[in-house]
Amino acid sequence: MNIILVGRPGSGKGTQGKVLSEEYNIPIISTGDILRAAVREKTPLGLQAREYMDKGALVPDELVVEMVVTRLQEGDCRKGFILDGFPRNIGQAEALDRTLSTLDKGIDHVLNFEVEHKEIIKRLSGRRTCRKCGEAYHIIFNMPVNIGICDKCGGELYQRDDDKEETIEARLKVYEEHTAPLVEYYRQKELLKAINGIGGVDQIKEQIINVICGRNNNSKIEG
Ligand code: AMP
């Protein structure tokens, strides 16, 4: 099962991606997580990506596409994969289509997480992330047991530079301009499924599983 998660930053793709990865036992490939690890480790990719990420801009396609193409060819993707944060524009979607066709694979579902702009600002500005394992928390809606410490691994929680208010607006603008057109791209391919991104983790998980199993012919599209 090959799945793509699309939606505004902060719409819950990462959270549900992890949940679905466990449910279906397939890897989640988050380009944001891979890039953040590269920045942390100061690899050549990380050094190049950082200036774009700090501004909330997209990292150039040639860097990101190469990274994903390599990852998709690893053995654990044979049974399926979940892409979170990729593709981010039509060029990346086309590059993905070309790669999958050479690997004799296809996309089964594109889940579009619908959460409106105002809610996104609230979510992202309060988000705190574990430096060690990437787990996400929220200062009001999803607090860790001990302030500043990850419940899962004990790592330090921090506010991502790009979750600061001045950068959030830039990221949302980039989303509307470059990423939102993917909704139409995948709708035309009849792969798009709308997911209401408001609700609890379990509630949204159930909604997604129903959509994937075809129990709910959810074809409502919002641009
Ligand atoms: P995310 O964690 O998905 O919100 O990504 C954080 C940042 O990583 C983005 O704002 C971009 O700078 C960069 N990034 C992640 N995925 C991509 C992608 N597919 N194409 C270009 N840049 C990306």
Q: Using H for helix, E for strand and C for coil, what is the string for 47-81? A: HHHHHHHHHCCCCCHHHHHHHHHHHHCCHHHCCCE
pLDDT of residue 216: 59
Least Cα distance to 4 among 108, 136, 90, 135 occurs for: 108
Task: Tell whether ligand 1 has an atom less than 6 A from the beta carbon of residue 88.
Answer: yes
pTM: 0.90
Least Cα distance to 119 among 40, 214, 181, 198 occurs for: 198
Question: How far does residue 30's CA lie from ligand 1's centre (Å)?
Answer: 9
Would 166 be classed as within a structural domain?
no
Would 168 be classed as within a structural domain?
no
Mean pLDDT of 188-217: 92
Least Cα distance to 64 among 42, 109, 33, 40 occurs for: 33
Question: How far does residue 52's CA lie from ligand 1's centre (Å)?
Answer: 9
Mean pLDDT of 101-105: 94
Closest atom of ligand 1 relative to the 162 alpha carbon: 10
Res. 187 pLDDT band, cuts 50 70 90: very high
131 catalytic residue (yes or no): no
**If you compute the radius of gyration of the chain from its CA atoms, what whole number of angstroms results?**
17
Q: Name the domain count of the chain.
A: 1
Which pLDDT tens digit goes with each residue over 41-67? 999 999 999 999 999 999 999 999 999
Whole-angstrom CA distances from 116 to 106, 113, 161, 216 are 30, 10, 22, 22
Would you say how long the chain is, in residues?
Answer: 223
**CATH number, domain at 83?**
3.40.50.300
Mean pLDDT of 129-139: 92
Domain that holds residue 99: 2-116+179-212
Would 198 be classed as within a structural domain?
yes
pLDDT of residue 220: 47
Mean pLDDT of 172-182: 97
Mean model confidence pLDDT for the chain = 93
pLDDT of residue 223: 41
Answer whether 155's CB lies under 8 Å from 128's CB: no
Res. 126 pLDDT band, cuts 50 70 90: very high
Would 139 be classed as within a structural domain?
no
Angle at 69 between CA 68 and CA 72, to 5 degrees: 80
In DSSP terms, 7 is beta-bridged to: 113
pLDDT of residue 215: 74
Which pLDDT tens digit goes with each residue over 144-167? 999 999 999 999 999 998 899 889
Would 122 be classed as within a structural domain?
no
13 catalytic residue (yes or no): yes
Res. 222 pLDDT band, cuts 50 70 90: very low
Question: How far does residue 57's CA lie from ligand 1's centre (Å)?
Answer: 8
Q: Does 18 score more than 80 pLDDT?
A: yes
**For residue 29, which phi and psi values (nearest 5 degrees)?**
-110, 105
Sequence-distant contacts of 49-53: CB under 8 A, at least 24 apart = 53/161, 53/162
Which pLDDT tens digit goes with each residue over 21-41? 999 999 999 999 999 999 999
Would 125 be classed as within a structural domain?
no
pLDDT of residue 199: 92
